[in-house]
Amino acid sequence: MPRYHKLGSIPSKRHITFEKPDGGLYQEELFGTAGFAGNSSLLYHIYPPTVVTEIKKVGDVSPKVAIEKNMKALSLKGFSLPQEQDYLESRKTLFVNNDLHIGLAAPKEFSKDYFYKNADADEMLFVHIGSGTLRTSYGSIPFEYGDYLIIPRGTIYQIDFDTEDNRLLYVESFSPIVTPKRYRNNFGQMLEHSPYCERDFKLPENLETHDEKGEFKVKIKKQGVMWEYTYGNHPFDVVGWDGFNYPFGFSIHDFEPLTGRIHQPPPVHQQWEAAGFVVCSFVPRLYDYHPKAIPAPYHHSNIDSEELLYYVDGDFMSRNNIEKGQITLHPGGIPHGPHPGAIERSIGKKETEELAVMIDPFAPMMITEEALKLEVDDYYKSWAE
């Protein structure tokens, strides 16, 4: 997110000496993207962030693709995903292409035996069930039901869950996840027509500074392989930082819907964008107010993109027999639209309480073996009922 933020103690200028109270220098680290041309932050460590005592290759964690070329509408029952004890073990990737991976997780905890870094992708975690605190070297971000957590690639983190009942939707993006360009002016400020503004973001707070030496394990995913690095000091040894590249949170409940006299197209619901996809938030809102309006969406063909919907809460009026945590995928190239009876049911309705996350990838998605374990049989036939 292009917004300046800082925490802790930093020197008056970049790249100058920053002395410790007891002698010696703090160690400066540039955390940036796009070869010094993208967003970056400067962090000041007690110890060099390069002290590695051991490296182990844990193994290949690449998703196993079951269907490489798909032209069938699919639905998955996400809450059928069984819980697992640890965060990383619970993550199951369901859909993949060269731009992003999409998956679900149902962890009971994030083991305190390790820290985690995704060296390949920015991560978007959507919290469907659960609450807790995202902990990073930039500070902590408390989260709860309905929160998006955006974690830039290369960020080392842990999560403290409040209970063992947690369910997450996640996206791994191989390009930065940012606010849509049309919501921002040339200086990065959110414009008046944007459905949210800077006040809605949850920024890192309560900077932790750990002056600890020892053996600290960081699991790092790179090119589909999990590695275990052992560092000689605690990863959260930062005394201060500033810049534009850092994790942040946002509640879907703070998205302000844009409505009109007649049905508005999905781009009015856009929340985030990346190089190969967009994310939209469907939230409670008033329906269209033309006297002959049809609130249900019209049939439409996804010629240039896939459409993936994750159902969070409420009655999603365009679909029949939808449960919380269910996922639908409508592939590009074929039309889709409301289920039988949905158009008629919607006429005259004044508002909706639906809550959903939509992800529109611009390239076809491949289907993994994990996805097929959750598949609803013959979903593509549901318009014929």
pLDDT in tens, 265-285: 889 999 999 999 999 999 999
Q: Which of 143, 355, 151 is nearest to 253 (CA)?
A: 355
pTM attached to this predicted model: 0.96
| Sign of the dihedral through C-alpha 274, 278, 284, 287 | positive
Specify if 173 maps to a domain: yes
Token code pair at residue 1: 């997110």
Q: Alpha-carbon torsion 224, 272, 102, 168, what sign?
A: positive
Q: Residue 339 — φ and ψ, nearest 5°?
A: -70, 160
Mean pLDDT, the chain, integer: 95
Statement to judge: residues 197 and 297 lie in one domain: no
CATH number, position 140: 2.60.120.10
Residue 71 lies in a domain: no
Look at residues 220, 251, 282 and tell me which one is the last residue of a structural domain: 251
What whole-number distance in Å separates Cα of residue 276 and Cα of residue 173?
Answer: 8
- Note the helical H segments in the chain: 87-90, 342-346, 369-372
Q: Supply the range of the domain harboring residue 322.
A: 255-384
pLDDT at position 319 over 80: no
pLDDT of residue 351: 87
Residue 347 CA to residue 83 CA, distance in Å, equals 40
- Number of independent structural domains in the chain: 2
Verify that 26 and 146 share a domain, yes or no.
yes
Is residue 209 included in any domain, yes or no?
yes
What's the mean pLDDT in 238-250? Answer: 97
- Considering the domain architecture, whether residues 104 and 224 belong to the same structural domain is answered as yes
For residues 31 and 121, give the distance between their C-alpha atoms in angstroms, rounded to a whole number. 14
**Residue 77 maps to a domain:** no
pLDDT given for residue 37 in this prediction: 85
Residues 118, 94, single domain; the answer is yes
Q: Which of the residue ranges 248-257, 294-303, 315-324 has the most confident prediction, judged by mean pLDDT?
A: 248-257
pLDDT cut 90: percent of the chain above it:
83
| Residue where a domain stops, chosen among 221, 251, 281 | 251
Write out the E strands in 166-260: 167-173, 201-202, 213-222, 225-233, 238-243, 248-251
Lowest mean pLDDT among 216-220, 232-236, 317-321: 317-321
16 and 62 together in one domain: yes
Clarify whether residues 88 and 230 are in a common domain: yes
Residues 367 and 65 sit within 8 Å (Cβ to Cβ): yes
Q: Residue 58, Cβ neighbours under 10 Å: how many?
A: 13
Residues 194 and 343 grouped into a single domain: no
Residue 348 has a pLDDT of: 85
Same domain, 89 and 146: yes
What confidence tens digit (pLDDT) does each residue in 324-383 have? 999 999 999 999 888 888 888 888 888 889 999 999 999 999 999 999 999 999 999 989
Ramachandran angles phi, psi of 307, nearest 5°: -130, 120
Q: Are residues 246 and 285 in the same domain?
A: no
Question: In the structure encoding, which two tokens stand for residue 183, read together?
Answer: 């919501």
Query: pLDDT digits over 116-174, tens only?
Result: 999 999 999 999 999 999 999 999 999 999 999 999 999 999 999 999 999 999 999 99
Tens digit of pLDDT for each residue in 204-224?
Answer: 999 999 999 999 999 999 999
Q: Which of 251, 270, 300 is the last residue of a domain?
A: 251
44 and 167 belong to one structural domain: yes
Same-domain status, 215 and 279: no
* Phi then psi dihedrals of residue 226, to 5 deg: -95, 130
